[in-house]
Amino acid sequence: MTYDNQPSPLVTRIEGDAPEVTVSRDMIRRGLIGAPLLLAICGVLWGMDGVWSSAYGIALVLINFAVAAGLIAVTARISLGLMMGAVLFGYLARLGLLFLAFYLVKDLSWVSRPALGLTIIVTHLGLLVWELKYVAASLAYPGLKPSRSN
C-alpha cells in the first residue's frame, strides 16, 4: 500500500556511496595478499598443475566478488526491486558461470581438479570469514569499519 505522496519502496533508488564496492575491493586486496600462500600449498601438493589450477580458481573467485558488488551498486541506483532481482538471479548466473568456467577447463592437461575445486571453496569462504573482522554492521558506517586514528 502506498500513500499519494510516497513512492513504493520497490521503485525507490539508493543514492550515495556504494559500500559493497568498497568491501569487494577490500576482499580482492586481501585475496591477492593470501594468494601466494594458497599457490604454494597447491604447488607442494599437486605440483605446477596445482599452482596453475589454484591461480585460475583465485582469479575466478575475485572476479566473482567484483561482479557481485558491481551488480548491486549499479542496480541499487535504478530501483530496489531491480537490485533484489539482480542479487537473486545474479547469484544463479554467477554460480552457472563458475560451473561453466570449471567445465571448460576440467580436461585440460594443466588442470588439477582437486586443487581447482578446493581453491574455489577455500578462497570464497576464507575471504568472507576474513572480511567479517573489517565490516561494520552499522547504519552509521556502512561497509568497512572506520580506521582508528590513535
On whether residue 27 sits in a domain, the answer given is yes
Residue with cell 537473486: 88
Q: Would you say residue 68 lies in a domain? A: yes
Question: What's the structural domain count of the chain?
Answer: 1
Res 77: pLDDT: 86
E strand or H helix at 144 = strand 143-144
pTM for this model (two decimals): 0.83
Q: Can you give the pLDDT of all 150 residues of the chain as single tens digits?
A: 445 566 666 667 677 777 888 899 999 999 999 999 999 999 999 999 999 999 999 999 999 999 999 999 999 888 888 899 999 999 999 999 999 999 999 999 999 999 999 999 999 999 999 988 888 766 666 677 777 664
Helices (H), the chain: 19-76, 80-105, 113-132
The residue range of the domain holding 111 is 19-134
The answer to whether position 142 is within a domain reads no
